[in-house]
């Protein structure tokens, strides 16, 4: 008889994990806000944070420290937490939907579409006119690409996963070619500007940009949480899911839409950041099991912790030149992806 | 006193700033002539590189050299920040959100733009007198050059072509173009209709066959050796028929002068004219 | 007194797969208290029939569930009326048995409703019924084929529908559990459910089912009591075997014996 874990202690383990993740998030946020290219005294960090979160009615710290913490670091760190949560939740949902632990929201062609939108905005000079232009153009491109891919993959109400992946590849290639074409026609400055955007960066993230997408992101994340039970049932197989009363095509479509919109909103904020959705959910799945009602919220917390940590690494990597956070997540994520591939090939197990 | 910066944003100065952060080499070089170094909170890190900066001696002893990093600037709490017009919008907006006075500057590419920039900066820092002195100096030197250049016959005006380490040239609309015409020369690339700084092929160079070829002295990553590049150019069989090669007029010009966007543009004109007509200018 | 309306009423059901007709002119009724066995050779369309009744395969014709057309019911309402246990469900995710059975309660709960005490009790009861209570916390991926089958059976039962459809319910089970499953199904039928099962083993079908439907090449060859359906002629037509059908003196049920060419 295999080892059994009584239900009660499973529940206790899940609760402990959530508590641990929440605590880790708070700690890593405070740490991230305290760290930067300029040494800010710890007392200033604490009093600035306390003031912002209305925990303390004191007069706060020296205005120059406050400016650094509240205008440069805090929006960036909270933005990283929000984006990390969104990408991890979207990744977990997508992996359940496709029954494959190697699915990353990037396969939906979102980053290719966003890239074309961004390069059009930068190349045509719209980027210089307003801060909103490039994010909005990226969002439009991302949603267009997703719409095309989903439209191709949903035939007669059924989602063909094979078609989805191939359509994703084809559409991404098309958009990438379009992007290269635009890049070959614009001036060198613009090329550099675009390349910086495309590496995925949280540098200079401002409260206003976050304000633009915070509502869609939170709604997207919450929406995916709501589908937790449905995703569990889907994991039994399409036929089984249909048998217990799940409207499989409709659920697939709705979850895909939520994943696309959530991912598109993150790309518009910071460019494409990969591997968060790929790495965080499988790691948590090992600790918390396959129950998506627990896994999705845990992934949100875990994703936030992960991206904030990657961002700290990106910032302190080099004293003078910041490394884009997308590079850090790729450096960590790509080897992990290869490891997953090898392990699943060897064990013939999907999870 | 309200001035409009390069983006058209009105910037008001009521008191002469005492902690100025200058983020471009051009503004560094101009400010050194306008204000007491004590009033400079930080200057751009390129100003210490002798290959590109005309104030490297000063900059090497100046403590605060930065490269446009938000937190560092905020920690200095400056009362005036001078920023290039190609810097990201959100960077500038963050500084403004923190209450800093930010003035966006477009690097001067022509002498008219240089005069405008010097005037505006002098007003901003509360030194109109020193600004006028600097402008007078520039005008006097330019007048001396103009006088000599006028005496050259139009048919004797030589052509010059810029050629960089990465195979690009400088056409119309660049500061090089402005220097060339002030020096009484003709920009071969500009005359051929080239605008900006695109790549130029060896065939195009052969076709244009300029009298002088201007090579750079400095590169951003410090990897290129100007003399070695010049030797390669001279030994290249494709170029052996060029006038400039035969008459030994493939010249490495100092980028400190040629790439300058400040008052040292005048030195660039002098360098060019001196190479073309040594009998007039030495 | 009129007989009660059938739980399931099928008229002229037809199904095509890739342009091929796999089911043709299928008509029958399933009443409360009946345990009907669908028998026939491989490829006859037994599984396909069950999937059509569950709306997982598209079909033409009429299927009435409690007098209401199946096509008019959404997936959830359909799942409250009939439950289908598939053959060879492969679950690759380590859900514990308890969670798997709880998924059978899915159609009973609204989107934002949690698990009620009642649901927990139902899950425990059905796990007991299928003799899988001790597997409640074991991940389904670590179970043997038979254990998994029993858990999935419990899940199907936890759906608490009047109509049960089963595709080869005894497929991976040991002899002991085979008997138990069929005995349970007969009990459940007696309690009022209508049960339709695709059965491979003709002897089991004969012993436990009140009626049989013999399918061959997508059509109903015979419908009726085991005596009516299990004849040498029918078995020859459907299975291409020469048998002698007789009443087994030990069991009291119908049995058959293969005739080789040497037998008369």
Cβ–Cβ < 8 Å for A290, A233: no
The domain tally of chain C equals 1
B67 interaction partners in chain A (CB closer than 8 Å): 320
C152 burial level (CB within 10 Å; 0-12, 13-18, 19+): buried
Report phi then psi at B65, rounded to 5.
-110, 125
Determine, yes or no, domain membership for C108. Answer: yes
Using pLDDT thresholds of 50, 70 and 90, give the confidence band for residue B198: confident
A321 DSSP assignment: S
**ipTM score here?**
0.86
Within 220-259 of A, beta carbons closer than 8 Å to C belong to 226, 229, 232-233, 235-237, 239-240, 242-248
C-alpha to C-alpha distances, B14 to B1, B27, B33, B274, nearest whole angstrom: 6, 21, 22, 45
* Residue-level pLDDT at A201: 76
Chains B and C, touching by 3 or more CB pairs within 8 angstroms: no
Cβ–Cβ < 8 Å for C166, C157: no
Neighboring chains of A (3 or more beta-carbon pairs < 8 A): B, C
Helix axes A74-98, A207-226, angle to 10 degrees: 30
Q: What's the alpha-carbon Rg for chain A, to the nearest Å?
A: 21
Report phi then psi at C19, rounded to 5.
85, -10
Report the mean per-residue pLDDT for chain B: 92
* Residue-level pLDDT at B190: 94
Residue located via tokens 């560094």:
B28
Residues A57 and B166: their CA atoms lie apart, in Å, by: 59
Determine, yes or no, domain membership for C91. Answer: yes
In three-state secondary structure terms, C231 is: coil
Residues B185 and B220: their CA atoms lie apart, in Å, by: 27
Closest approach of B213 to chain A, Cα-based (Å):
23
Take residue A207 and report the two structure tokens written for it.
Answer: 């409260």
Mean pLDDT, residues B226-241: 91
* Residue-level pLDDT at B255: 92
Determine, yes or no, domain membership for C2. Answer: no
Q: What is the pLDDT of residues C159-169, one digit of tens each?
A: 999 999 999 98
Determine, yes or no, domain membership for C45. Answer: yes
C-alpha to C-alpha distances, C59 to A43, A245, C24, C70, nearest whole angstrom: 72, 18, 10, 11
- Do the strands B80-84 and B20-22 form a parallel or antiparallel pair, or are they unpaired? parallel
Q: What is the pLDDT of residues A120-153, one digit of tens each?
A: 888 887 776 777 788 888 888 888 888 888 888 8
Q: What is the pLDDT of residues C52-78, one digit of tens each?
A: 998 888 888 999 998 889 888 888 999
DSSP notation for A256-306 = HHHHHHHHHHHHHHHS---SHHHHHHHHHHHHH-S-HHHHHHHHHHHHHHH
Query: What element of type H or E holds A155?
Result: strand A154-155
* Residue-level pLDDT at B269: 95
B106 DSSP assignment: P
* Residue-level pLDDT at A32: 92
Closest approach of A163 to chain B, Cα-based (Å):
40
Q: Among partner residues C75, C83, C143, which is closest to A246 by beta-carbon distance?
A: C75
Mean pLDDT, residues B218-228: 81
Mean pLDDT, residues A190-217: 82
Determine, yes or no, domain membership for C248. Answer: yes
Minimum Cα–Cα distance from A241: chain C residue: C103
Domains of chain A from N-terminus onward: 102-272 (1.10.3470.10), 273-343 (no CATH)
A:C CB pairs within 8 Å: 90
* Residue-level pLDDT at C1: 53
pLDDT at A350 over 60: no
User: Any chain A CB within 8 A of the CB of C97?
Assistant: no
* Residue-level pLDDT at A89: 96
* Residue-level pLDDT at C3: 66
Q: Among partner residues B74, B88, B99, which is closest to A72 by beta-carbon distance?
A: B74
Q: What is the pLDDT of residues A249-295, one digit of tens each?
A: 889 889 988 998 898 888 878 888 888 998 899 889 888 888 999 99
C-alpha distance across the termini of chain B, in Å: 45
Q: Do C95 and A291 touch (CB under 8 A)?
A: yes
CATH number at residue C136: 3.40.50.300
Q: What is the pLDDT of residues A158-172, one digit of tens each?
A: 677 778 888 888 888
Determine, yes or no, domain membership for C79. Answer: yes
Report phi then psi at B198, rounded to 5.
-85, 175
Specify the range with the lowest mean pLDDT, choosing from A65-74, A151-160, B79-88, C193-202.
Answer: A151-160
* Residue-level pLDDT at A156: 63
In 10 A of CB A118, how many CB atoms? 31
Query: What element of type H or E holds C9?
Result: strand C8-17
pLDDT at B243 over 80: yes
In three-state secondary structure terms, C202 is: helix
Closest approach of A229 to chain B, Cα-based (Å):
42
Residue located via tokens 């949480």:
A225
In 10 A of CB A283, how many CB atoms? 15
C73 DSSP assignment: S
Report the mean per-residue pLDDT for chain A: 84
Domains of chain B from N-terminus onward: 2-136 (3.40.50.1980), 153-281 (3.40.50.1980)
Minimum Cα–Cα distance from B77: chain A residue: A64
Closest approach of A82 to chain C, Cα-based (Å):
25
DSSP notation for C158-184 = HT--SEEEEESTTTT--HHHHHHHHHH
Residue-wise over C1-21: b if at least 16 C-beta within 10 A, else e?
A: eeeeebbbbbeebebeeeeee
pLDDT at A2 over 70: no
Report phi then psi at A268, rounded to 5.
-70, -20
Cβ–Cβ < 8 Å for A264, A77: no
Cβ–Cβ < 8 Å for A175, A112: yes
Q: For residue B4, list its beta bridge partners.
A: B10
Residue located via tokens 């390349």:
A195
pLDDT at B64 over 60: yes
Determine, yes or no, domain membership for C51. Answer: yes
Q: Among partner residues C77, C90, C92, which is closest to A351 by beta-carbon distance?
A: C92
Mean pLDDT, residues B17-38: 95
Helix axes A110-123, A248-270, angle to 10 degrees: 40
* Residue-level pLDDT at A321: 66
B45: nearest Cα among B27, B61, B59, B29: B59
- Ranges of residues in chain C with a pLDDT under 70 are 1-3, 261-264
Long-range contacts of C223-231 (CB under 8 A, 24+ apart): C223/C28, C226/C253, C226/C254, C227/C254, C229/C39, C230/C202, C230/C206, C230/C254, C230/C256
A131 interaction partners in chain B (CB closer than 8 Å): 89-90, 93
A37 interaction partners in chain B (CB closer than 8 Å): 69, 71-72
Say how many residues make up chain C. 264
Residue located via tokens 């043709």:
C24
Question: Domain range for residue C58?
Answer: 8-258
Determine, yes or no, domain membership for C263. Answer: no
pLDDT at A6 over 70: no
Number of H helices, E strands in chain A: 16, 2
Question: Within chain B, what is the greatest distance between any pair of CA atoms?
Answer: 63
């Amino acid at each position: 008889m295999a080892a059994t874990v009584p239900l009660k202690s499973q529940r206790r383990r899940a609760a402990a994990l959530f508590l641990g993740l929440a605590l880790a998030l708070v700690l890593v946020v405070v740490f991230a806000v305290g760290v930067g290219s300029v040494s800010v005294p710890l007392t200033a960090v604490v009093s600035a944070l306390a003031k912002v979160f209305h925990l303390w009615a004191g007069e706060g710290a020296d205005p120059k420290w406050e400016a650094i913490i509240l205008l440069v670091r805090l929006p960036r760190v909270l933005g990283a937490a929000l984006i990390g949560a969104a990408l991890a939740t979207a990744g977990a949902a997508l992996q359940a939907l496709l029954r494959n632990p190697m699915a990353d929201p990037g396969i939906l062609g979102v980053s290719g579409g966003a890239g074309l939108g961004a390069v059009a905005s930068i190349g045509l000079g719209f980027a210089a006119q307003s801060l909103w232009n490039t994010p909005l153009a990226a969002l439009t491109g991302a949603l267009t690409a997703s719409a095309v891919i989903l439209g191709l993959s949903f035939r007669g109400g059924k989602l063909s996963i094979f078609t989805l992946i191939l359509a994703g590849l084809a559409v991404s290639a098309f958009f990438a070619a379009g992007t290269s074409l635009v890049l070959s026609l614009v001036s060198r400055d613009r090329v550099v500007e675009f390349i910086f955007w495309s590496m995925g960066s949280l540098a200079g993230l401002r409260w206003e940009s976050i304000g633009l997408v915070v509502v869609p992101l939170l709604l997207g994340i919450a929406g995916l949480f709501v589908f937790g039970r449905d995703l569990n049932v889907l994991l039994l197989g399409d036929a089984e899911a249909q048998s217990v009363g799940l409207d499989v095509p409709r659920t697939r479509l709705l979850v895909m839409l939520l994943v696309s919109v959530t991912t598109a909103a993150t790309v518009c904020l910071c460019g494409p950041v990969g591997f968060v959705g790929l790495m965080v959910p499988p790691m948590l799945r090992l600790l918390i099991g396959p129950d998506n009602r627990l896994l999705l919220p845990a992934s949100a917390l875990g994703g936030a912790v992960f991206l904030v940590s990657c961002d700290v690494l990106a910032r302190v990597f080099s004293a003078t030149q910041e490394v884009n956070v997308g590079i850090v997540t790729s450096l960590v994520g790509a080897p992990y992806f290869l490891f997953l591939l090898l392990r699943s090939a060897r064990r013939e197990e999907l999870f | 006193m309200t001035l409009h910066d390069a983006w058209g944003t009105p910037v008001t100065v009521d008191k002469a700033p005492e902690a100025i952060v200058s983020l471009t080499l051009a503004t560094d070089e101009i400010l050194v002539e306008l204000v007491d170094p004590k009033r400079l909170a930080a200057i751009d890190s390129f100003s210490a590189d002798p290959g590109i900066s005309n104030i490297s001696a000063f900059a090497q002893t100046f403590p605060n050299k930065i490269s446009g990093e938000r937190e560092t600037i905020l920690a200095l709490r400056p009362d005036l920040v001078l920023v290039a017009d190609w810097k990201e919008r959100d960077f500038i907006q963050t500084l403004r959100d923190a209450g800093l006075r930010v003035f966006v500057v477009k690097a001067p590419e022509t002498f008219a733009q240089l005069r405008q920039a010097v005037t505006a900066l002098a007003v901003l820092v509360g030194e109109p007198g020193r600004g006028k002195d600097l402008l007078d100096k520039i005008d006097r030197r330019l007048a001396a050059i103009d006088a000599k250049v006028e005496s050259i016959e139009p048919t004797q005006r030589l052509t010059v072509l810029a050629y960089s380490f990465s195979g690009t040239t400088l056409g119309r609309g660049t500061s090089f173009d402005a220097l060339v015409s002030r020096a009484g020369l003709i920009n071969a690339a500009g005359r051929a209709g080239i605008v900006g700084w695109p790549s130029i092929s060896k065939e195009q160079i052969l076709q244009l066959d300029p009298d002088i070829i201007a090579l750079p002295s400095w590169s951003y990553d410090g990897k290129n050796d100007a003399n070695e590049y010049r030797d390669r150019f001279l030994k290249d069989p494709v170029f052996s028929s060029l006038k400039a090669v035969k008459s030994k007029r493939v010249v490495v010009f100092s980028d400190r002068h040629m790439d300058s966007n400040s008052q040292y543009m005048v030195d660039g004109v002098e360098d060019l004219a001196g190479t073309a007509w040594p009998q007039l200018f030495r | 007194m009129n007989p009660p309306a059938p739980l399931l009423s099928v008229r002229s059901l037809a199904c095509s797969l890739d342009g091929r007709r796999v089911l043709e002119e299928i008509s029958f009724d399933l009443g409360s208290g009946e345990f009907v066995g669908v028998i026939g050779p491989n490829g006859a369309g037994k599984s396909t029939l069950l999937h059509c009744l569950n709306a997982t395969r598209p079909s033409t014709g009429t299927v009435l569930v409690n007098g209401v057309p199946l096509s008019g019911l959404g997936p959830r309402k359909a799942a409250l009326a009939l439950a289908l246990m598939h053959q060879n469900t492969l679950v690759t995710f380590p859900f514990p048995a308890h969670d798997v059975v709880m998924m059978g309660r899915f159609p009973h709960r609204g989107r934002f409703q949690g698990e009620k005490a009642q649901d927990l009790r139902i899950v425990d009861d059905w796990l007991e019924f299928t003799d899988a209570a001790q597997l409640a916390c074991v991940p389904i991926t670590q179970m043997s084929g038979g254990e998994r089958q029993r858990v999935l059976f419990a899940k199907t039962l936890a759906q608490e529908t009047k109509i049960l459809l089963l595709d080869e319910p005894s497929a991976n089970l040991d002899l002991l559990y085979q008997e138990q499953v069929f005995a349970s199904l007969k009990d459940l039928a007696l309690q009022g459910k209508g049960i339709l099962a695709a059965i491979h083993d003709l002897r089991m079908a004969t012993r436990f089912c009140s009626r049989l439907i013999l399918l061959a090449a997508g059509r109903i060859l015979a419908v009726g009591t085991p005596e009516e359906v299990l004849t040498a002629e029918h078995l020859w037509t459907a299975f291409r075997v020469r048998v002698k059908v007789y009443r087994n003196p030990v069991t009291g049920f119908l049995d058959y014996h293969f005739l080789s060419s040497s037998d008369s």
